[in-house]
Structure 1
Amino acid sequence: MQRVEEPTDEKIMHKVKDGQLSELTTLFERYHIPLYNFFLKLTIDKSTSEDLTQTLFYRILRFRHTFNHANGSFKPWMYQMARNIHADYCKQKMRISEVVKSTNSDTEEVPLEEGGVEEQDFEKLQAALLELGPIDRELIVLSRYEGLKYAEIAQIKNMSLSAVKVQIHRAMKELRALYFKQL
């Protein structure tokens, strides 16, 4: 029996670029969960992560004409767009935060549910991840959680491969220290 190979992301994106918009469904099915998880690890908010994921696919559709396979593969192009969306979200959140501070409104803290040892470890890791600076956190999320190769991260961040390796090494070392400081 002959096996049918699935089309590459790049081939699908070229179809989308050529006006076959329904082909974006395939890319959505492949990437909506990893992208949701990417945003969730950066924002720690399920609703916001859903919104940012939806916004990303809207932007992929809107800016499909900018995709150029000669400049790299689809995945780094998509994650660069995701980074931009997250940056826009952070800027907007800071503006809202300034408005809230100026009106002296207090926010209500929602207590975390208690769970088993594994959930506590996950919470400690999340807390340590949140203590990292945004650049280090993003590097760890892209490399460890999203599985991007260092070369892809270098392309996304417009950095040299060696600089990415050094920064990720330092970020992991700091994350390890922050995590074990909580124990």
Structure 2
Amino acid sequence: MEEQTDEKLMAEVAKGDLDLLKVLFERHHVHVFNFLLKMSKDKMLSEDITQDVFYKVMKYRTSYNNGKFVSWIFTIARNSLKSHYTRSAEKHQDLDTVIHFEHDEIEEKNEEHTHLHKALSKLETADRELLILNRFQEIKYAELAEIMGSTPGAIKTRVSRALKKLKTIYFENI
């Protein structure tokens, strides 16, 4: 049996075949969780929001418009994380402060990896988000453009600039 694309599976889920949502969950929950973890540095929060993302996929399945599934799900993940921090901001918390990397909370296997993550954490949230989606989650420029509401050319430029900033931060502390 030929493996169905995410888009075909989601189209069937949108029509009411909720059993296929399990396949999409199995394919994508780790990627969504990893993105959220790299953005928030909070494992429990990332687990909760990952569950919320898939709940929203099910709840809003009829709003899926046959676009790229990965773009759609990461848009939901971004918006869910932003909503969490917006609610938290009402409790006098700042997004960049909450997302700030705390070295002691994460066990890294080697010093370079730790240094890279430390440098990544010093970037502005928007730059960090772009690099995580593009370099760690391997989302292409066209899909990123859809997620960010921009054009592929603009996203490519923003990623390039974010990489330059990351390189500067990374090498200034070596």
The alignment's TM-score, normalised by the length of structure 2, stands at 0.88
Counterparts in 2 of 1:12 and 1:114: CA distance versus 1, 3 Å: closer
Query: Match for residue 36 of structure 1?
Result: 33
Judged with a 3 Å threshold, the aligned counterparts in structure 2 of structure 1 residues 178 and 7 are, in CA distance, closer, same or farther, namely same
Unmatched runs of 5 consecutive residues or more in structure 1: 99-108
Output the CA distance in 2 between the equivalents of 1:166 and 1:68: 28
Q: Which residue of 1 aligns with 2:165?
A: 174
What displacement does 1:64 show? 0.4
Identity over the aligned pairs, expressed in percent?
38
* Alignment root-mean-square deviation, CA: 1.8
Alpha-carbon spacing, 1:10–1:113, altered in 2? closer, same or farther (3 Å): closer
Report what 1:27 is aligned to: 24
CA deviations on 1:81-134 (whole Å, 9 max, x unpaired) are 111111112212322345xxxxxxxxxx89457866x2x222221111111111
Larger radius of gyration: 1
1: CA distance, partners of 2:114 / 2:47: 21
Q: Hey, what does 1:102 align to over in structure 2?
A: none
How far apart are the structure 2 equivalents of 1:147 and 1:161?
14
- The 2-side partners of 1:135 and 1:19 are apart by 35
Q: CA distance change for structure 1 residues 150 and 90 in 2, over 3 Å: closer, same or farther?
A: same
Correspondence 1:80-119 to 2 at 5 A: 80-98=75-93, 111=104, 118=110
Q: State the partner residue of 1:164.
A: 155
How does the TM-score come out when normalised to structure 1? 0.84
Partners of 1:171 and 1:115 lie apart in 2 by 23
Moved beyond 6 Å, runs of 4+ = none
What amino acid is the match of 2:16? G
* In 1: Cα distance, 2:106 partner to 2:76 partner: 34
In structure 2, do the counterparts of structure 1 residues 15 and 175 end up closer, same or farther at CA, with 3 Å as the change threshold? same
